[in-house]
A and B are shown apart, each in its own frame.
Chain A
Amino acid sequence: MSTTGQHPAVDADELRRRVRDLLDAHPPATTAPLDFLRARFDAGLAWVHYPAGLGGLDAPRSLQAVVDAELAAAGAPDNDPRRIGIGLGMAAPTILGFGTDEQRQRLLRPLWTGEEVWCQLFSEPGAGSDLAALATRAVRDGDDWVVDGQKVWTSSAHIARWAILIARTDPDQPKHRGISYFICDMTDPGVEVRPLRQITGEAEFNEVFLTGVRIPDSRRLGEIGEGWRVAQTTLMNERVAIGGGRVPREGGVIGLVADTWRERPELRTHDLHQRLLRLWMESEAARLAGERLRQQLAVGQPGPEGSAMKLAFARLNQHISALEVELLGEEGLGYDDWTLRRPELVDFTGREAGYRYLRAKGNSIEGGTSEVLLNIIAERVLGLPPEPRTDKDVPWKDLPR
């Protein structure tokens, strides 16, 4: 079976023909959604830029939009990309890049169809922005690795079948060099998932405690001690995934506030008017920058604007939701529900202003804090010298913590 580059170039017409064949063989109206998704994967129409046999056709990535549009028009079921976003956006490209053929065959299809949900066991209480400082240990024992440690801020851990995991395999090496990358079976003994309640009252995330978890060496991704390099692939894809999609004007939180403004003239003040207009224009500017980034990606090169988009969205979400609470005045003093809930997805627009205000506070922390992203822009985009580093060549075990 071929996995790379064996197919002749597939163009948009060819893809449309294949979509028609798929729809003829598996009419969405009479096919169970999961069966349809499996058939779509097998037809190479899941992610067309993936290799043939692994859900793709080695086609240009930009042609995925053609397939998606045709299938949406035909009323085909989708694979709930938001629910399985970690698998799609982070685990899959890493497995594709570093996995063995056996791993790719076993894992990618149920990942894409949503049969198996993935989570990411990266962050730890002591290793957030400085992820490479992680302390979870993996010790070799025969054909297995025995893993002990604690992970935090794990989305979807309570529904996940698999996790991508980074753990320290050599504490005598400097922190970046002693890490290896594994696939962890979340149903294994020793994996304990606890809800992590946050500022909004709900437990959207989890803490994961790993106690003597045995992971076979066959579920390692990449070489021993090369885990940091593998993780870079995961993280790069995480940042591309954030702020990627196409949005209409007023498509984000600004639309909610704009509608409130239009419908509730009694709430208007001069002060809020100027602030709203400013935020409306900034939202439009960010939207256009996002669209421009999307066009850039379509023609090939992802620019450094990805980090800029995440920064802009975090700032805008925070400023707009802060204004929304203030605009609502007396209503802004209320909250919809403090009950401890465990949503599978963040429902940013389905809840009230107070929730948005509080949840948006996380936008500048999760997936790389704004402070760290600004440093990345300063150093990698502007070429400014880095901060002096005292932790580079020191064995991990000797670092201050």
Chain B
Amino acid sequence: MSTPDLLYSEAEDDLRAAVRSLLTDRCPPATVLSEAESGRAHDVALWGALGTEMGTAGLLVPDKLGGQGATAREAAVVMEELGRAVAPVPYLTSAVLAAGALLGCDTGQEPVARLLGALAEGRTVGTLAVPLSTMAGVSGPPAATVRADGDGTLSGQVSSVAGAAGADVLLVPATGADGYGLYAVETAETSVTVEPLTSLDLTRPLAAVTLTGAPARRLAGPDRAAAAIERALLTGAGLLASEQLGVAEWCLTETVRHTKERHQFGRPVGSFQALKHRMAALWLELVSARATARYAADALATDSPDTPVAVAVAQAHCAEVAVRAAEECVQLHGGIGMTWEHPAHLYLKRAKSDEIALGTPGRHRQALAGLVDLAAPTG
């Protein structure tokens, strides 16, 4: 195994600065909350600026297919910043999961290349139509709940799909006479119903998708579809660790700021050792979370054979760090952390939802057991 690069390159720092500057201007917490309450699936204007104008939608897509030709390392930096802002944009669902699935198909085929190019521009929004809780690996690709009929249409339901509301196109795993395949379906079709669900995470809403004879285009058949979906889910899980890192970072930063300012008993509450040590301990957890998230991003970027281990470690670790940081953020803010006006709850809800997304920490540890030969006890 070659030594992974766990640092940030200068180009990655520049990318971060640009994304952060945009999000600071256009995506402050009050805007996130009002956007979440608006019932809109995502912030369209913000996604235009971030995905299209800044080009982040196409980071993972090669130049020749209309993208930026960057790697998971750069995408991970974007995810960190999006986590730090709990930004309501379809980056994970469209630029990572949907684009990732298409990259696993035969990009020499015109429909695949065309759709990939459209997603890379950010003007077309897509998502992979699987429940957000779906995890890569372990027992093969997610079983399709949708049926492909001989007439080129799809029928069936998919529950809890992130990014479906607000998507123009759905990438749907389905099984038909030809076996397992990945299909593209336009949400504008009348035979497609996308019903928004009430989601724990206000900033990444879920929807139930129902297809009743929806016209579909097959993008990959049994030879490629499963691997393409697996790879997309693995990439998604690996990059989600960076989002979790960003969530945790905001929580710690805000908690430190608050406890320096909030006076009780005639002194800033941050001066109490009982609180001080907890924030210091959280910082330590962030140090290791950053290392695991960086390793997952680097492994994905270099197509390392250790990628499944890197992703399992990063997900199991960062998910728990993010939840702990968000919970500490609420607690150490005291009463104000329990209010709707204060953004702490948006981070707690994102962190808890992210803990389930693309595999819980427990399931990633279980996957790790198989990968590193630490079998569970039998009997």
Contacts and interface: CB of A to CB of B under 8 A. Distances in A.
Interface of A: 123, 125-130, 133, 152-153, 196-199, 201, 269-272, 318, 322, 325-326, 329-330, 332-338, 354, 357-358, 361-362, 364-366, 369-371, 374-375, 387, 389-391, 394, 399-401
A329 B360 contact: yes
Contact of A332 (B198, B200, B340, B344): B200
B267 A330 contact: no
A147 B325 CA distance: 40
A370 B263 CA distance: 17
B243 interface: no
Interface of B: 131-133, 159-160, 197-202, 206, 263-267, 269, 272, 274-275, 323, 327, 330-331, 334-341, 344-345, 348-349, 352-353, 355-357, 360-363, 365-366, 376
Contacts of B132: 330, 333
Specify which of A362, A371, A390 lies most central, judged by the most chain B CB atoms within 10 Å of its CB: A371
B206 A334 contact: yes
Query: 7 closest pairs, A vs B, by CB?
Result: A391-B266, A271-B362, A130-B264, A197-B340, A199-B345, A330-B133, A335-B200
Nearest to A325: B352
B264 A128 contact: yes
A358 B334 contact: no
A396 to B, nearest CB: 10
Given A271-B365, A326-B356, A330-B356, A387 B272 contact: yes
A358 B366 contact: no
B341 A333 contact: no
Given A133-B264, A271-B362, A334 B200 contact: yes
B330 A361 contact: yes
A197 B339 CA distance: 6
Contacts of A389: 265-266
Given A197-B341, A198-B340, A338-B198, A361 B265 contact: no
Contacts of A369: 331, 334
B334 A326 contact: no
A337 B338 contact: no
Which of A271, A318, A333 is the most central at the interface, judged by chain B CB atoms within 10 Å of its CB? Answer: A333
Contacts of B355: 326
Nearest to A371: B274
A255 B360 CA distance: 23
Given A336-B198, A354-B200, A123 B335 contact: yes
Contacts of A123: 335
Given A152-B335, A330-B131, A371-B274, A401 B352 contact: no
Given A272-B362, A333-B133, A334-B198, A365 B331 contact: yes
B303 to A, nearest CB: 29
18 contacts: A123-B335, A126-B263, A128-B264, A128-B334, A197-B339, A197-B341, A199-B339, A269-B360, A332-B200, A334-B200, A335-B198, A338-B198, A361-B331, A361-B337, A365-B335, A374-B274, A400-B263, A401-B263
A263 to B, nearest CB: 19
Contacts of B197: 334
A314 B200 CA distance: 21
Contacts of A370: 331
A370 to B, nearest CB: 8
B334 A129 contact: yes
Contacts of B366: 269-271
Contacts of A196: 339
A130 B335 CA distance: 12
A388 to B, nearest CB: 9
Nearest to A314: B331
A370 B330 CA distance: 13
B330 A199 contact: yes
A375 B327 CA distance: 21
A318 B363 CA distance: 21
A391 B265 contact: yes
Contacts of A374: 274
Contact of B201 (A330, A333, A361, A399): A333
Contacts of A394: 266
Contacts of B272: 371, 387
Nearest to B268: A400
B240 to A, nearest CB: 14
A123 to B, nearest CB: 7
Given A333-B133, A333-B356, A365-B335, A358 B199 contact: no
B335 A128 contact: yes
A287 B364 CA distance: 33
Given A322-B323, A336-B198, A399-B266, 16 more contacts: A133-B266, A199-B338, A325-B200, A330-B132, A330-B159, A332-B200, A333-B132, A334-B197, A335-B199, A354-B200, A358-B349, A361-B338, A364-B331, A365-B335, A365-B338, A387-B265
B340 A201 contact: yes
A400 B327 contact: no
A124 to B, nearest CB: 10
A371 B275 contact: yes
Contacts of B267: 390-391, 400
A338 B202 contact: yes
A333 B203 CA distance: 12
A31 to B, nearest CB: 42
B358 to A, nearest CB: 11
Contacts of B266: 130, 133, 389-391, 394, 399-400
Contact of A199 (B264, B275, B348, B361): B348
B360 A357 contact: no
